[in-house]
Amino acid sequence: MNDLITSIKTAYPKLALKPSDTFYWSPQSKEIHYKKKARGKIDQWSLLHEVGHALLDHRDYDSDFMLVRLEIEAWQKARELATVFGIHISEDHIEECLDTYRDWLDKRSICPNCSTKSIQQSDFTHYRCFNCHMSWRVTKSRFCRTYRMSDNSMESKTIFI
């Protein structure tokens, strides 16, 4: 892993890499965070994915769909970087990672009243059902589990997904 970090720093000297507890790209600080104790190939793939976000200058997203699109783009860039650095990324791993976002999006988009899938409205946290016209809100966080808040009214619900 140290060799890959050195190679990335050499190839992209303007990128800031910082040891952390997990892998992530921070558009605010313009830093790529990587696990201090990273060792295996999955950690290498995760680092290349975060470098992909950085090189693509990914910033905040304004919709659930946009987040999924940014993740797909970062994995595509990671594939390109892997070729440059002589690493093979498992397509199964990439699809498993993307599936977590697809599953997250799917759960958020299901109407709590009639189970029809809908799309996000202009407000980032707002969905409205095409079928029964129910409105519901979801948390902006992509790390939350599903919670359904009980509400006597079927007009609106808050759902943390």
pLDDT averaged over the chain? 88
Do 49 and 86 fall into the same domain? yes
Do 64 and 133 fall into the same domain? no
pLDDT tens digits for range 141-154 = 766 544 433 343 44
CA distance 58 to 54: 6
CA distance 5 to 2: 5
Q: With pLDDT > 70 as the criterion, what percentage of the chain qualifies?
A: 87
Residue 72: name the closest of 105, 95, 93, 46 by CA: 95
Do 50 and 121 fall into the same domain? no
Domain range for 157 is 115-161
Do 10 and 83 fall into the same domain? yes
Do 60 and 77 fall into the same domain? yes
| pLDDT of 76 above 70 | yes
Give Cβ neighbours of residue 136 (< 8 Å, ≥ 6 apart). Answer: 111, 112, 126, 127, 128, 129, 156, 157, 158, 159
- From 106, 123, 153, the end of a domain falls on 106
Q: How far is CA 2 from the centre of its chain?
A: 25
pLDDT tens digits for range 23-58 = 999 999 999 999 999 889 999 999 999 999 999 999
Q: What is the mean pLDDT of residues 95-116?
A: 93
Please give the tally of structural domains in the chain. Answer: 2
CATH of the domain at 78: 1.10.10
CA distance 21 to 31: 14
- From 82, 106, 130, the end of a domain falls on 106
Rg for the chain (alpha carbons), in Å?
A: 19
More confident residue, 23 or 124: 23
pLDDT tens digits for range 96-106 = 999 999 998 89
